[in-house]
Structure 1
Amino acid sequence: MREEMKHDRARSLIEQAFIFSFPLVLMDITKEVSTNTVEPSKSKAPVNCFFHAKALATSEFRQVVTPNVDTLYSQVFFDLKDDALVVKKPYADRYLTFQIMDAWSNTVATLGTGGDTDGEKTYILTGPSFRGDIPEGMDRIEVPTSIGWLLGRTICYGAEDIPNIYKLQSEMDAETLSGFMSNGEISKGSYDASKDGVPLTIAMNLSPTEYFGRFNRLLMDNPAYPEDNELLRELADLGIGAGLSFSPCLSSEDLEDFWCEMKDLLLPKLIKATLKFMVRNGSFKFYGDPISRFGKEYEYRCLVAIAGFGANPVETAVYLKAEEDDSGEKLNAKNKYLLHFMSNSLPPVGEHGFWSVTAYGDDDFLISNPLDRYAISNRSSFKLNEDNSLYLILQTEEPNENKENWLPVGSDGFHLFLRIYRPDNSVLNGTWEAPKITKIG
């Protein structure tokens, strides 16, 4: 009986450790995949270098689920262990943000729109080992871990606007402090075909020994937060911790069986445990605080890493999802619907803020249609009703009237994302009323 209790405790701690550690392991693997290149491309760049998306997603895009068609991404996966990183952000009279995340996927700072300034600025990102001087004219961003992710988003007003974004991208820069001070050349990266893959799949396919070995190494330079110490003391009993060697109290066969079962049951368990963070507004719902600044909400942090890695803080953006109409029936393009924003109730946003409604198939990709129209947004030429309300037409075929208000939804199951960037507080506290989705045929 005592031995079985010991094994039960080991299983419980392994599951807690996996949930706790997963964002850090996934961040490292994402960094490894995204920096596995000699020179920058549109999808990769060496460590501490920018890479930029060059086009908006279409229905042919299959790299990432639920891609947005509002912004182009600019990214840097950084490593601050041996040097600080100098980052230059251009002036932009539009929505442009740099989200700085630490190794645990917590947002350390939001720079640009809704953050500090729309103006041109130079920052220096420093890690926990930095001991140098800060050059004059740079704003310091202290990152509590060595590795992390800069995720930039720049609003795009359509294909004709792409050249303007390219210009902004050319004015973004990142280089190590030592390179900046010496005007040295940016060093090239390297390529290893064995490191290619989908980061989430790679992480999930690691064996327990591989997984916790990687986590233990990462903790050396990417420390947990002080509030995590209580859990880490317990995990040390199984050799889980900075510099430790993983030593579970289970046989190899028992460990492998439990490891597979744990991962199979993980997602439903995480969803159930985090329902308390779901904010509902009619048919729509979104994940609210403390998203992106998770504290000790380890299950929430793990869920977001799996389902929406790199999520914004709510004051920066919220993504409201609708899978059902107002009667509670699943959305299906065999029916016709109206999405109705009440009079003067379009999504309220701050300066340079914006919103969009995007339709996705059950596969979470954009829906092919003759107009290549994947979303309707505040940048679209839709037609308001006389009372300043708005009907969007959700159906398969093109309507006879109000074609500018038509959002094609394919021929089968679909769902919507209402993205609101720089949302007004009324969106966050629920006093703004989300649009209704009514079946009309």
Structure 2
Amino acid sequence: MKKLAKITLRIKIILFAVVVLVTACTTGTKTGVQNLTPEETKNLAKEAWLFGMPLVMFEKQIDYSTHVTQPEETRSPINQFVHYRKFVDASNRSIVGFNVDNLYSLAWIDIKDEPLVLAVPAMGDRYWMMQIVDAWNGVPAAPGSRTHSGDDPHVFLIAGPDWKGTVPEGMELLRSPTNLGGIGGRTYCSGDEDYVTVNRVQDEYILIPLSAWGKSYTSPEVPLKDGADGKTLVNEQLMALSAEQFFSNLNRLLVTNPAYVEDNPMLEKIRKLGIAPGMPFSIEGLADDLVEALEEGVAQGKASMGAEMKNLGKMVNNWGLTYDMGRYGTKYAYRAAWTFVGIGGNVIEDAFYPLALNDINGKQLSSEHNYTLTFEKGEWPPAAAFWSLTMYDLEGYLVDNPLNRYAVGDRSNMKPNSDGSLTIYIQPESPGADKESNWLPAPKSGPFKIALRLYAPMTKVIDGSWVPPGIVPQK
């Protein structure tokens, strides 16, 4: 009997331990928050939101952009290219920060199950790039005309962080630190007359699973993802998430999209809030002051991101100059702000993106005023490939105008001044027939921002010895 009693007691102890373990797993977040003060909870929630924002937004972008069963004009299913056959216009609000310099070939990828093979034909002298973007908005690789000869075709193998297979002969491995990612394919297009040629090149791009390489393969029709929102703009989806929704998504996504090694101190810090790969997150049973503190922390995170958006990079002549795009390190508010402005910005060796929200006097750019931007002789944007100046609304979308002119640049047939300088007129109405070739139309009303892009910027851009001049308001 004593022996039976001991066995029964041992079973009870084991069962109690299991219950405790299960309870810890299912309410770990709640218990963690309960051990914090409201002030600690608020501060950690702010930091955790800024840290995790790119990953959570990235999935929303993927869900939005892949919410089709087969490729369409501006969307395609996961792991399939959508080729933009012509330049986008102001009606396209699918992705913030679209440029009108290249025709896009975009793919949103999930390589959790197996790698993808990306094949690019011989491109000759044409500018091209196949930028790989990870789910933290970093750029682990960007093969293109800057790095690879256009005389030969190239075959790349895009593999996730846990893949341990053998790279087939003739393929170049591109390793992504996350399983969710994107391919930002860009092919130079000089304009309408170049569409046919560029479209033919796009049709030669190949993106297929590794298991299909060398076999006959047709991209499948893909069922729509349950719960995905293919209608609401991605920025709006992100900002509408409650603290509980946001942190639940973050914990789930961290399982297959690990943070960088340099993020370990932050991960350790926010673990006290219940942020960890695969850990459930729930506010059920939390005291009201702690729930309120979570929401206040998230609100502060959003405000901090918003403040950072007004100062994206080093400020010179009221242009935000970013020399570390795609390499944000542990500057989490800065990384969140750039992600909100535009997913998939290039590293500086490939492109330089000065961004202006204010004029030379520090006043917000607004349709209430006319402006000029003048590059002096010999100081036009120094780009080995090409450059452009693009108009956006404050949300990062192209601005409607009567000419459907969203950008001007070195291919716009602008007229230099008699002294060799170049003046661009930035205003809602035409500056007159003699100046219209140099006109960048502004919106009819409200504030706006302007992006200058230099593709394959020259050394004096990279080392900071060339910077754009300020935008000057006209009386």
The TM-score, its normalising length taken from structure 1, stands at 0.89
Equivalent of 2:292 in 226, 251, 257: 257
1:222 to 215, 240, 257: 257
- Alpha carbons of structure 1 residues 220 and 342: separation in structure 2 relative to 1, 3 Å: same
Cα deviation per residue 1:260-288 (whole Å; 9 max; x = unaligned)?
43343334323556888622332422333
Counterpart of 2:162 in structure 1 is: 129
The equivalent position to 1:296 in structure 2, one of 330, 334, 357, is 330
Choose the corresponding residue for 2:322, options 273, 287, 308: 287
Task: Answer yes or no: is the 8 Å Cα contact 1:127–1:145 preserved in 2.
Answer: yes
Q: Offset at 1:329?
A: 4.0
Deviations 1:177-216 (A, max 9, x none): 1111443433321125742233333333334333333322
**Distance (Å, rounded) in 2 between the aligned partners of 1:268 and 1:209:** 18
- The structural deviation recorded for 1:386 is 3.6
Q: Which of 1 and 2 has greater Rg? A: 2
Offset at 1:380? 1.2
Q: Which moved more, 1:330-339 or 1:422-431?
A: 330-339
| Structure-2 change in CA distance of 1:335 and 1:258 (3 Å) | same
1:277·1:288 contact (CA, 8 Å) conserved in 2?
A: no
Q: Is 1:14 matched up with 2:48? A: no
Q: Deviations over 1:88-119 (max 9, x none)?
A: 12333222111101222211001113233434
Distance 1:135 1:432, change over 3 A: same
SS at match of 2:40: helix
Which shifted more, 189-198 or 327-336? Answer: 327-336
Q: Percent identity?
A: 32
Structure 2 residue 271 is matched with structure 1 residue 236: yes
**C-alpha separation between the residues in 2 aligned to 1:432 and 1:74?**
31
> Is 1:210 equivalent to 2:245 in the alignment?
yes
What are the equivalent positions in structure 2 for 1:390-405 lying under 5 Å apart? 390-395=422-427, 396-405=429-438
Within a 5 Å distance, the mapping from 1:61-210 to structure 2 comes to 61-92=92-123, 93-118=125-150, 119-192=152-225, 194-195=227-228, 196=230, 197-210=232-245
Alignment counterpart, residue 468 of structure 2, candidates 434, 438, 441 = 434
- For the 8 Å contact 1:110–1:116, the answer to whether it is kept is no
Q: CA deviation at 1:78?
A: 1.4
Greater RCO, CA 8 A, separation 6+: 2
> Could you report, residue by residue, the CA deviation over 1:323-343 in whole angstroms, capped at 9, with x for unpaired residues?
343344444445443321101
Q: Which residue of 1 aligns with 2:304?
A: 269
1:85 Cα deviation from its structure 2 partner: 0.7
Runs of 5+ consecutive residues of structure 2 not aligned to the other structure: 1-33
- Whether the aligned pair in 2 keeps the contact of 1:33 and 1:199 (CA below 8 Å) is yes
Change (3 A) 1:140 1:6: same
User: Do the aligned partners of residues 434 and 250 (structure 1) sit closer, same or farther apart at CA in structure 2, a change above 3 Å counting?
Assistant: farther
Structure 1 stretch displaced more, 195-204 or 106-115: 195-204
How far apart, CA to CA, are the structure 2 residues paired with 1:63 and 1:274?
Answer: 20
Matched residue, 1:44? 75
Q: Residues of 2 paired with 1:439 and 1:252: CA distance?
A: 53
Offset of residue 76 of structure 1: 1.5
CA gap of 1:252–1:305, structure 2 versus 1, over 3 A, is farther
> 2:248·2:281 contact (CA, 8 Å) conserved in 1?
yes
Q: Give the whole-Å Cα distance in 1 for the aligned partners of 2:358 and 2:243.
A: 39
Q: Is the 8 A contact 1:7 1:249 kept in 2?
A: no
Structure 1 215/7 Cα, relative in aligned 2: closer, same or farther at 3 Å?
same
Report SS of the residue matched to 2:213. Answer: helix
TM-aligned CA distance change 1:367 to 1:431, over 3 Å: same
Q: What residue in structure 2 maps to residue 380 of structure 1?
A: 412
Contact persistence 1:36–1:189 (CA under 8 A): no
Larger displacement relative to structure 2 (16-25 or 333-342) = 333-342
Deviates more, 1:99-108 or 1:263-272: 263-272
Provide Cα deviations, 1:128-186, integer angstroms capped at 9, x if missing partner.
22222211111011112222111112222111211122111101111111111443433
Give 1:24's aligned amino acid. L
> Is residue 360–residue 472 contact of structure 2 (8 Å, CA) maintained in 1?
yes
Q: Give the equivalent residue in structure 1 for 2:5.
A: none
Q: 1:306 aligns with which of 340, 343, 353?
A: 340
Shifted more, 375-384 versus 252-261: the winner is 252-261
Deviations 1:281-300 (A, max 9, x none): 324223332x2122222222
Distance 1:279 1:5, change over 3 A: same
Q: C-alpha displacement at 1:83, in angstroms?
A: 0.8
Task: Give the partner amino acid of 1:126.
Answer: A
What secondary structure, in the 3-state scheme, does the structure 1 residue paired with 2:184 have?
strand
Displacement of 1:4 after TM fit? 9.0
Query: CA 1:254 to 1:410, structure 2 compared with 1: closer, same or farther past 3 Å?
Result: same
Segment drifting more, 47-56 vs 413-422: 413-422
Alignment match of 1:409 (pick from 442, 465, 475): 442
CA distance in 2, matches of 1:410, 1:219: 40
Instruction: Report whether the alignment pairs 1:246 with 2:278.
Output: no
Moved more, 371-380 or 269-278: 269-278
Structure with higher strand content = 1
Q: What is the alpha-carbon root mean square deviation over aligned residues?
A: 2.8
Structure 1 pair 284–139 and aligned structure 2 pair: CA distance change class (3 A) = same
The alignment partner of 2:255 has SS state of: helix
Distance of aligned partners of 1:148 and 1:411 in 2 relative to their CA distance in 1, 3 Å threshold: closer
Mapped partners of 1:363, 1:227: distance in 2: 31
Aligned with residue 53 of structure 1, among 57, 78, 84: 84
Contact in 1 for aligned 2:350/2:456 (Cα 8 Å): yes
